[in-house]
Amino acid sequence: MRAEAIRGQDIPVSVICPTFNQEKYIEQALKGFTAQKTSFRFNVFVGDDCSTDQTASIVKDYSQRYPDIFVPIFRDNNIGGAHNWQDMITRSSSKYLAFCDGDDYWTDPHKLQKQFDFMETNPSLRACFHDVEVKIETADGKWFQAKDFSNTPDGKILWPSGNRSFIKKDSYRIENYIPFGFVHTSSMFIRWNYSIDFPSWFYGHGVGDYPMWLLQIGSGRFGYIDEIMSVHRRVSTSTYHFKDRYDFWRNSKPGWIALDESLLRYFSNGKFPTSISNALMLKLKDDLAKMIKGSLEKDPPEKTWELLVRYQNLIGNLFHIPVLGKYSHIKFKCTLYALKTMAPLPPYKVNKMAKALRKRNKRSELTYLTMN
């Protein structure tokens, strides 16, 4: 491993850029950094996680051409995305941290300056974010969530303002963020609290930006800049590239459920408002329902039953439904009926959900709408 740290109080902003086997994309990310026009110094930590293509060579070239900007880190072994992030962050001492993955890029040369000025003007806020344009560059030219983020006059796919569920406000709490994680990584700009350590469970879920945002914001607020200043690529090699939402739910939600449980334990220690743990509980129920729905759509009944048995303790604790014994068609149908009664399986219908809530007067039993 090699790293040349540029540190000091005279560098108020550090950019964190993890990369791995992104030779097709990394240069555009690096160009977006060098194009920034600021009244302050900033540096960019680029952590190459032992790429096997030409990514490291491109990073090395830019670090030699722009030694006052780039802090290259070339790893001897692949340590994974979360550890890569954490290592780069610990090397920084800047007041603010911004983020951009190696296959995304910034489009506004004044992005850092705008976010810096916004945060300096709003000292009570913990962070800020902006709109991100999504460009689909998958092999088949498709992304199953494209319609969810295309509610725009010109048809652009915008994260998050292209989503009907997103409401533009001056500031938000993480209770607003938890339902569908509407802050994209390339837009994150955080007043970093170095006293908050990454818990051990942070590294085991395959998702870094979502829990990091929650840990850093805590019970504070974060602001929104209504401008498009970066691009997020959807490529076939993306971690979350799936055929459709059911495939996404079946394969990703077990990891999200484990993360939900870890976050619930973290935020239920009495130091945070109960509204945060309540929102996380609803998220956990929602993820559990979506995982089951994904399996119902993609798997034979016997395999879905195996999933229900695997999560029988969680299903019992959340919905008070027993899942016992070997598979039988009758038990399977009865269990599904009970689940649909206690936690309607997605895709959700707003009117039906509201009607069911009024009928049973159990608002806490039903989940909110999300677009994940």
d(CA 150, CA 50): 36
Residue 134 bridge partners (DSSP): 232
Q: Is the pLDDT of residue 270 over 70?
A: yes
Instruction: Cite the DSSP H helix spans in the chain.
Output: 26-34, 55-65, 81-90, 111-121, 174-177, 209-217, 245-267, 274-298, 301-310, 312-319, 329-342, 350-360
The more confidently predicted of residues 14 and 356 is: 14
Task: Please indicate, yes or no, whether the overall pTM of this predicted structure exceeds 0.85.
Answer: yes
The more confidently predicted of residues 84 and 347 is: 84
Give residue 239's pLDDT.
67
d(CA 280, CA 174): 10
Beta strand 158-159 with 189-191 is unpaired
- CATH superfamily entry for domain 2-235: Spore Coat Polysaccharide Biosynthesis Protein SpsA; Chain A (3.90.550.10)
Q: Which of 168, 171, 143 is nearest to 157 (CA)?
A: 143
Give residue 348's pLDDT.
56
- Please give the full DSSP string across 253-300, using - where no structure is assigned: HHHHHHHHHHHHHHHTSSSS-HHHHHHHHHHHHHHHHHHHHHHHHHS-
349-353 average pLDDT score: 43
| Residue 340 pLDDT grade (very low, low, confident, very high; cuts 50, 70, 90) | confident
Q: Is the pLDDT of residue 4 over 80?
A: no
| Residue 370 pLDDT grade (very low, low, confident, very high; cuts 50, 70, 90) | very low
92-99 average pLDDT score: 97
Considering the chain, what is the average pLDDT of its residues?
Answer: 89
Give residue 136's pLDDT.
95
| Residue 362 pLDDT grade (very low, low, confident, very high; cuts 50, 70, 90) | very low
| Residue 344 pLDDT grade (very low, low, confident, very high; cuts 50, 70, 90) | confident
For residue range 176-231, list pLDDT tens digits in order: 999 989 999 999 999 999 999 999 999 888 788 999 999 999 999 999 999 999 99
Give residue 371's pLDDT.
33
DSSP state, 366? Answer: S
Q: Is the pLDDT of residue 372 over 70?
A: no
293-300 average pLDDT score: 94
pLDDT over 70 for what percent of the chain?
Answer: 90
Listed ranges 76-90, 94-108, 229-243, 320-334; the one with the highest mean pLDDT: 94-108
Give residue 342's pLDDT.
80
320-336 average pLDDT score: 90
| Residue 9 pLDDT grade (very low, low, confident, very high; cuts 50, 70, 90) | low
Give residue 339's pLDDT.
86
d(CA 63, CA 3): 11
Structure-token pair, residue 288: 């559990």
Q: Is the pLDDT of residue 260 over 90?
A: yes
- Of the given ranges (82-86, 116-120, 143-147, 362-366), which has the lowest mean pLDDT? 362-366
Q: Judge whether 252 and 155 are in contact, CB under 8 Å.
A: no
For the chain, the domains span: 2-235, 245-364
Give residue 353's pLDDT.
40
The more confidently predicted of residues 372 and 208 is: 208
